[in-house]
Amino acid sequence: MALAEELREAVGSLTVFGRSDARARPQTLAAALAFYPAVGLLLGLVASGVAWAVDQDYPAFAGAAGVFVLAALSGARVSRALAAGGALGLSTAALTFAAKLWSVTGLPAPARTAALLLAPMLGRWAIVVQCYGGVAAAASGPAALAGRARFREFGIASVTAFTVTLAVADAAGLLVLVAAALTTVAL
């Protein structure tokens, strides 16, 4: 039962499918972090599948389709959080979304597939890393998870992210992992 609760919380926290239970215990919320990269990978699978389907008839729109699917499946949480910061936040959200579109649109199909698979997964892995090594800044909300992740969550999330990245991107995956790790630690 605990595993099902953890999976439900991970999916509810990161997607439009379900909602995170406000009554969930903090331990369950922290344990759900272990599955964040797996949820990101599933989102990436759907996005890359849509991009592949669009590429068959409209190759110029394939990358954009993948980015839009990722935004839709995640409920555009990042963009909404940035936009809540007023005019500066709104412009930052718009520029961030435009950068995502630009970066994926110019990629050839194999690289686009890898990017759409790995980016959401590694982004969710970065959340786990921050929650494992971070210090709680707030008593409630998602920021309350900082510092609550145990080695179990960090280990499961890292093994998932590293295994998939190396399997998808071969030797280049090592460079991707180093870049993701350095970026995550720098934050």
Residue showing tokens 């936040």: 89
Residue showing tokens 């989102």: 43
Torsion of CA 13, 18, 23, 25, to 10 degrees: -50
Give residue-wise pLDDT tens across range 100-126: 999 998 899 999 999 999 999 999 999
Residue 21 has pLDDT above 80, yes or no: no
DSSP 69-122: HHHHHTTTHHHHHHHTTHHHHHHHHHHHHHHHHHHHHTS-HHHHHHHHHHHHHH
Give residue 84's pLDDT band: very low, low, confident or very high (50, 70, 90).
confident
pLDDT of 53 reads: 96
pTM above 0.85, yes or no: yes
Residue 2 has pLDDT above 90, yes or no: no
63-67, 76-80, 166-170: least confident range: 76-80
Residue 63 has pLDDT above 90, yes or no: yes
Give residue 44's pLDDT band: very low, low, confident or very high (50, 70, 90).
very high
For the chain, give the percent of residues with pLDDT over 70: 94
Mean pLDDT across the stretch 162-168?
A: 95
At 20 the three-state DSSP class reads coil
pLDDT of 142 reads: 61
Residue showing tokens 């999976």: 7
Give residue 55's pLDDT band: very low, low, confident or very high (50, 70, 90).
very high
Give residue-wise pLDDT tens across range 119-162: 999 999 999 998 888 776 665 556 677 778 889 999 999 999 99
